[in-house]
Amino acid sequence: MNAVAQILRWPQADADRLRLALWSAQEIARATGGKASGDFQVSGVEMDSRDVRSGDLFVALKGEAMDGHKFIDKAFASGAAAALVERPIDQPHVLVKDTSSALELLAKAARKRASATILGVTGSVGKTGVKEAIFAALERSSKGAAHRSIRSYNNHVGVPLSLSRMPPRSRFGVFEMGMNHAGEISGLTAQVRPHVAVITTIAPAHIENLGSEEAIADAKAEIFEGLQKGGTAVIPADSAHFDRLRDAALAKGAKVISFGRAPHADMRLLDAIPMAHGGSLVTAAFGDHRLCFNVAEPGDHWISNALCVMAAVHAAGGDMGSAGLALAEMGGLKGRGARLRIPVPGGHALLIDESYNANPASMRATLAQLGQTPATRRVAVLGAMKELGDFSEGFHAQLAEPLLAADVDFVVLVGEEMTALARELGKGLANVLGKPLHFAHCENTGEAIAALEEFGMAGGDAVLVKGSNSVGLSRLVAHFGAREG
């Protein structure tokens, strides 16, 4: 038999019979209860006209301040194949009563047709990085048949959008879920319906709205409500709320896999050796097995994240060898650990971009990482931590201790909430060697840029930039990052 005949007789999997298009006009209409203007196919789904690519379905969402219908022409000019709309247009479209509801229905249809193993990820800290690492592991082992929510698409719009984009050929789907209030994850997990539910950690993020860490743990544990029968919960063994999370998972009939340093952890850290480039060589125990792998991302928090990733990949039936390779190759995400080499007098400075988010736990973790980073001088640009409510002053003031422990030379504080920390640093605090910590307190990012320019970065400096996204420190990163080379 010649090679062509052998190829023609190659056995087909069920997924091979699925067409490559993401959605047809009739499928969209059937899923949303809408009316299609004609026959068409789309290869993607997008809600922001600035991000539309050729072949996309543009969803014209209507919000309190913006109406997506105003951007329909721009979407088609960028290559949209069709639009999901609430009023007829001249271009290919599906007409529905409410585009937001229609997007949720399209997501429901995508989830219903999927034969993929679905993972949901939440947590106070690290969920985006963990989601990306899980995806990288499963993408590698499935040879491209994994899907995930991009960026931090983890809310009431981002989750259904991410689901609606999942190809029917996917073998794995990884979806991030975020929250500000109790009950929000409950609604998201009902859409995702994961086979594996992952909680990275519990920390006082959004404590202004929830009041206590116990309430935060309960809100995160809502992810177990959507678990499929026989599903698995992956939870942090080192958390003070471990029993609370475990009991919530067991109450939903879940199997539980824990990760961490604690003796009772299922995926348990045995050893972590720092590597020259800033990552770690990790050895972990899992049952009778020993795992040894590299973690490219620096910082103690990424050792915990890596254990979480390994546990989640195992629970999903993925390949743990591929997970180890993915962790060894992970690079920092924009706003979440990306490292930029900035040309400055005397060589290059290292700028660590953590500008997307901040809470007390992540601030301490990244400051500890800065303290372990080889540098001539260490600089921290810290933006205010939002949504801390009555706890805000105390949590900001407490950052003085990790700043001193990290041997920081100069710190730029940004935002009114940083007044409490400025007050602490103004007492003339010094590290164990008696070296004082100099600081500047700025109202906004523009002033912070000026303060850092006046300080003058030099070769060998390491500069950490971290704050809540609304502070706008990404503009500072962009300003200095434009010089990257």
Confidence of residue 4 (pLDDT cuts 50, 70, 90): low
Q: Which CATH architecture has domain 3-99?
A: 3-Layer(aba) Sandwich (3.40)
Q: What is the pLDDT of residues 193-228, one digit of tens each?
A: 999 999 999 988 778 778 899 999 999 999 999 999
Distance CA 122, CA 180 (A): 12
| Class of the CATH-defined domain 114-329 | alpha beta
DSSP symbols for 176-226: E---SSTTHHHHHHHHH--SEEEE----STTHHHH-SHHHHHHHHGGGGGG
Residue 289 CB neighbour total at 10 angstroms: 9
For tokens 């009739």, what's the residue? Answer: 26
For the chain, domain boundaries: 3-99, 114-329, 338-481
Residue 351 CB neighbour total at 10 angstroms: 26
Which whole number is the average pLDDT over 441-456?
96
pLDDT higher than 90, residue 439? yes
Strand runs labelled E in 13-99: 23-24, 35-36, 41-42, 44-46, 56-59, 82-85, 93-95
pLDDT higher than 90, residue 324? yes
CATH of domain 338-481: 3.90.190.20
pLDDT higher than 60, residue 45? yes
pTM for the whole thing? Answer: 0.84
User: What pLDDT does residue 11 have?
Assistant: 54
For tokens 């190809």, what's the residue? Answer: 167
Residue 432 identity: V
pLDDT higher than 90, residue 97? yes
For tokens 């850092």, what's the residue? Answer: 452
pLDDT higher than 80, residue 240? yes
- Mean pLDDT, the chain, as a whole number? 92
Q: What is the pLDDT of residues 47-87, one digit of tens each?
A: 999 999 999 999 999 988 889 999 999 999 999 999 999 99
Q: What is the pLDDT of residues 247-298, one digit of tens each?
A: 999 999 999 999 999 999 999 999 999 887 779 999 999 999 999 999 999 8
Distance CA 376, CA 403 (A): 16
Residue 475 identity: R
Q: What is the pLDDT of residues 347-393, one digit of tens each?
A: 999 999 999 889 998 999 899 999 989 999 999 999 999 989 999 99
User: What pLDDT does residue 348 have?
Assistant: 95
End-to-end CA distance of the chain: 56
Residue 202 identity: I
For the chain, percent of residues with pLDDT exceeding 90: 81
User: What pLDDT does residue 138 have?
Assistant: 97
- The string over 6-38, giving b where at least 16 C-beta atoms fall within 10 Å of a residue's C-beta and e elsewhere, is eeeeeeeeeeeeeeeebbebebbbebbebebbe
Q: Are 136 and 329 in contact (CB under 8 A)?
A: yes
pLDDT higher than 70, residue 5? no
pLDDT higher than 70, residue 17? no
- The string over 205-223, giving b where at least 16 C-beta atoms fall within 10 Å of a residue's C-beta and e elsewhere, is bbbebbeebeebbbbbbbb
Same fold, 114-329 and 338-481: no
Task: Indicate the helix (H) or strand (E) that contains 354.
Answer: strand 347-354
Give Cα separations from 256 to 227, 264, 307 (angstroms): 12, 12, 14
Residue 115 CB neighbour total at 10 angstroms: 11
